[in-house]
Structure 1
Amino acid sequence: MTGLTLSQAAKALGKSKSTLNRAIKTGRLSATRNEDGTFSINPAELYRAFPEPSENMRQERPVEQDRTAVYDDLGSRISLLQQLLEREREVVADLKEDRDRWRQQATSLLTNQDTAPATPLSVKRRRWWPF
C-alpha cells in the first residue's frame, strides 16, 4: 500500500503540514523519507498518531452543550479581561497620582529657588596669588 504525502495526510486529518512535520520530528508519527526528500506516511500510522473522534461520540454530544460550553468559556474570558482592565485602570490612576505629586514638588522647589535670597555681592573673594 502506498503512503500518503504530507499534504495529503494534512488534508485527510484537517491539520496543517507543519503540525504533521513536527509530529514526525518528535517521533509521535513515523514516516519514511523518499529519495526526493518528501515523506511517505502510512494511513494506519497516521490515524494511530492522530485518532479521529468516532461518529458515535460526535452524535452523543448534543449541540446545545457545545454552545453553552463555548458561551461559558467566553463568559469566563470576558470576566477575566474585565478584572485585568480594572487592575490596569487602578495602576494608571496610581501613576497619575504619583506624577501629579512629583510635578507639584518640582514646581514648589523651582518657586522656592526663585525667591531665595541671592548671595551678597559685597563679599570680597580672596585671590589665590598673593600680589
Structure 2
Amino acid sequence: MKYSLSEAAKATGKNKTTIQRAIKSGKISASKGNGGSYEIDPSELHRVFPPTVAQHMQSNDTQQAKFAPESSHIDRVVDLEKELAVARERANGLEAQKDQMADTINDLRKRLDSSETRVTALLADNRPKPGLLYRLFNR
C-alpha cells in the first residue's frame, strides 16, 4: 500500500510541504497516480523520514494482531540473527583495523630506533680531528 502525500505526512509527523520538497529535490522517489497525486512507497519514505512513535506503535499492534505468537517469535529470531551477523561483521572489521594499527606501530618503532641510532652517531662525531698540517694550510 502506497502513501498519499497527506498519509506520508501523518506517518512521519512532517508537514506535507516538507515531504513534497523532499520528492522534488530527489531525496525521496515517488510516482504520480492517475489523479495526479503522489504515490509514495512506505520504505522509500521511511528511508529519509522515520515513522512517528504513534505510527510505529500502531503498525506493531496491527502486526501482532495479524500473526500468531509463534510467528512473531520466528520473526524475532530472524531479526536477532541479522543483528548478530551485523555485529560479527563489525567485529571482523575492527579486528582487521586493530591488526593494521599494530603493523603501523611496529613500523614506526623500527623507524624510531633507526633514527635514534643515526642521531647518536651524529652527536658522537668520531671523525679524526684535523692535525697541525691541516690547520696550517687551511687558514
Q: In 2 relative to 1, CA 111–51 (structure 1 residues): closer, same or farther, beyond 3 Å?
A: closer
Normalising to structure 2: TM-score of the pair?
0.55
Post-superposition offset of 1:51 = 6.4
Instruction: Decide whether aligned partners of structure 1 residues 25 and 93 sit closer, same or farther in structure 2, where only a CA change above 3 A counts.
Output: closer
Count residues with an aligned counterpart.
107
Q: Any gaps of 5 or more consecutive residues in structure 1?
A: 32-41, 127-131
| Letter aligned with residue 23 of structure 2 | A
Q: Does 1:13 align with 2:15?
A: no
Greater Rg over alpha carbons, structure: 1
Which region of structure 1 is more displaced relative to structure 2, 18-27 or 69-78? 18-27
Does 1:99 find its partner at 2:97? no
Give the superposed CA RMSD: 3.8
Do the aligned partners of 2:9 and 2:19 also contact (CA within 8 Å) in 1? no
Q: 1:45 to 1:64 in 2, by over 3 A?
A: farther
Q: 1:51, 1:84 → 2: CA distance?
A: 32
Q: CA deviation at 1:16?
A: 4.4
Q: Which of residues 108, 124, 127 is equivalent to 1:117?
A: 127
Partner of 2:91: 82
Partner of 2:72: 63
Q: Specify every segment of 5 or more residues in structure 2 that has no aligned partner in the other structure, as ranges.
A: 44-58
Instruction: Report the CA distance between 1:125 and its aligned residue.
Output: 2.0
Contact 2:30–2:40 (Cα < 8 Å) also in 1: yes
Larger helix proportion of the pair: 2
Q: Secondary structure at the match of 1:120?
A: coil
Residue 66 of structure 1: CA displacement? 2.4
Structure 2 matches for 1:28-67, cutoff 5 A? 28-30=30-32, 45=37, 48-50=39-41, 59-60=66-67, 62-67=71-76
The whole-number CA distance in structure 2 between the counterparts of 1:23 and 1:78 is: 34
Identity percentage of aligned residues: 12
